[in-house]
A and B are shown apart, each in its own frame.
Chain A
Amino acid sequence: MKKTISVNIKGLNFMIEEDAYELLHEYISRLEKNLHGQKGSKDIMEDIELRIAELCQLLMSDKKQVLEKEDIESVIKTLGNPEDFIEEENETQDSNKTFENAFEQESFTKEKRLYRDIENAKIAGICSGIANYFHVDVIVIRIIFLIFLFVGGFGFPLYIILWLVIPKTNSTIDRLRMQGKPITVDSVKEEIEQAAKRVKNSSTSFAERIRKDDSYTRRFSSIGRLISSVVGIGLIGTGLFFLIVFTILFFGGLRFIPIVAENGYLSLNQLSELLLSDSNDLIFVYLGVILVTFSLVLFLISNGTYILMKVKSKWTKISSLSLFALGIVGSIICIYLSFKTSRDFVTEREIEKEIASINCPELELEFMKETRANLDGFEIKNGHDHPFRHAIILKGNNLYSKDVEFIYRESKDSLYHVYQNFSANSYSYENALSKAKNIEHKIQLDSTKLLINPSFFYPKKDKIRVQRVKIIIEIPVNKYVKFGDEKISWDVYENEEIYW
């Protein structure tokens, strides 16, 4: 007694003995295996199965209702060994490979992609990935990278960029694509076997070696992790540093702005007071600056923490984005304020008055000694520029400046003419004029000697509005002005200005 099974081959029903069924089943799976990956394998399978059905049917008769093992053997003999006729097909196809065939094979089964080969990696697998892609030895690529690293130095950033851009191999399929091998059952199997071997042989990859350590170091499982940790700590450190600096600057009342000085430096508060047209805007200065600086600080610290702790969620994105938005808002406030303040500088007005007309063979210029001593030890040298020329000094209710400029011109007659020119900026003509008028500058004529105060001052309430003083001296032709050791004629310096 034998067990029979009912099978359906291409719409035809057959009773088949169990061992015969197994034989047939084995034959069909062998066929499928051999045809796998071949173009039109489905059609071939269909045709062959139809033929099997036909052949089986021919064996049937009224007397014979069940397919036996011998029947299947004869069917198989008629059809032939799949290894024989399919291999034959492949062989000839290979040697007769037409352009069309070659092209199809490339695009269908040999899809090749660039991946980072993390299993053969020294660092992140960039070099071995590239080597796989171009089918060259990885040593060649590594040497090229090393050369780039030392010559020109862009090897490092290039590596980092490639690291970010190229995906790593996540699956066996990826590995096959990387190597440009066709993705078939056999190749996948082979690749998995090789992978197992690689793991067994304890891969040379840095990542692999470290991964074997305890769970703590797993966090730093490659140089990549190490670098991200360094970056994270660096960001947090920078953030904390800025936090301390900004906090001291804004809330510690420290004087740090060197341009405007009483004892050398002013605080942000004092500077804003001297610059802003509307003192109510002070609060916005603080708001804007604090928003910009502290959103930057928090951005650095939070992102540093995320990178260090490897946190990656939508919250990290949201917090980064909102900090970015706050920074933008702060910047907009700052831009608005500087725009508003700059409106107060648009109109310049100057007033000029003649102080003296002197008839003498040689006019002598000299700085007033006593006032020089008052000026907190900023050294003044004749005819030379110095870094604190534009320094503005706050003393009591007045602002002192040394922005005194000397201009020499040709006199139209035989007299020396001395003019004093005050200028200031403001939003309106009238306002600028009143600010210019508020400037006080002393010049004293002592027979043929002109005593000039090297500094001038104006009231603090006028704010800093580019207040300037120009001393214009008209020198008659062939005459000189004696200034210290120098003799100046109107054309010696042409119109070159001498600053103090």
Chain B
Amino acid sequence: MSLENTQAQMRKGILEYCILSILDQSEAYPSEILVTMKDAKLIVVEGTLYPLLTRLKNMELLTYRWEESQSGPPRKYYSITKMGKTFLEELSSTWEDLNFAVQKITKSTN
């Protein structure tokens, strides 16, 4: 249980970071984001993405627009906001620091 909890917490922050990174490159609708993330084996079930997207949107880090699709239902294209970009920059530096620290510690202990 505590392992799951720790994993969930670790994953959640990273997931948000990744979503923002993906959308920083170009706007995308959820299914596209899912493809990228599934390729990277970041998420197992797709449902995980949606609450995160909504949360980021509510934090005004993301915004979206509707686009009709010929092949399917209308698509919700998400894009990063200015605030989201600043947020992402902060996250990136934190991530680099953490990555560096984790690498260093795990290497030295192993």
| Total residues of chain A contacting the partner, CB 8 A | 33
| Interface assignment of A69: CB less than 8 Å from any CB of chain B | no
Chain B contact patch, size range: 20 to 34
Among B8, B44, B52, B53, contact of A80 (Cβ-Cβ < 8 Å): B44
* Contacts A47-B50, A48-B50, A88-B12 given; does A54 touch B72 at CB 8 Å: yes
A/B interface sample: 18 pairs, CB < 8 A: A9-B73, A12-B72, A40-B51, A40-B54, A43-B53, A43-B57, A47-B53, A48-B50, A50-B73, A51-B31, A51-B34, A51-B50, A78-B45, A81-B45, A84-B47, A86-B51, A88-B8, A89-B48
Can you list, as one digit per residue, whether each of B51-67 has a CB less than 8 Å from chain A (1) or not (0)? Answer: 11111011000000000
Across-interface contacts of A44 in B (CB, < 8 A): 50-51, 53-54
The CA of A54 and the CA of B74, in the complex, are separated in Å by 9
In contact, B9 and A50 (Cβ under 8 angstroms): no
Q: Is B71 an interface residue (CB 8 A)?
A: yes
Verify A89–B73 contact, CB threshold 8 A.
no
Report which of A48, A50, A51, A86 forms a contact with B74, defined as CB distance below 8 A. Answer: A50
The majority secondary structure among interface residues of chain B is helix
Q: Are B31 and A40 interface neighbours, CB within 8 A?
A: no
> Is B85 an interface residue when CB atoms closer than 8 A count as contact?
no
A201 at interface, CB cutoff 8 A? no
B54, A57: Cβ atoms closer than 8 Å: no
Does any Cβ of A come within 8 Å of B103's Cβ? no
Chain B, residues 26-44, CB within 8 Å of chain A (1/0): the string is 0000110010000000001
A51 touches B9 (CB 8 A): no
B34's nearest neighbour on chain A, judged by CB, is A51
What B residues does A95 contact at CB under 8 A?
Answer: 5, 9
Task: Tell me which residues across on chain A come within 8 A of B71, comparing CB atoms.
Answer: 57
Q: Assuming A11-B73, A77-B45, A92-B9, what are 10 further A-B pairs, CB within 8 angstroms?
A: A40-B51, A43-B53, A44-B51, A57-B73, A78-B45, A80-B48, A88-B12, A92-B12, A95-B5, A96-B9
A284 to chain B, nearest CB (A): 75
Cβ of B58 and Cβ of A40 under 8 Å apart? yes
CB within 8 Å of B: which of A48-100? 48, 50-51, 53-54, 57, 77-82, 84-86, 88-89, 91-92, 95-96
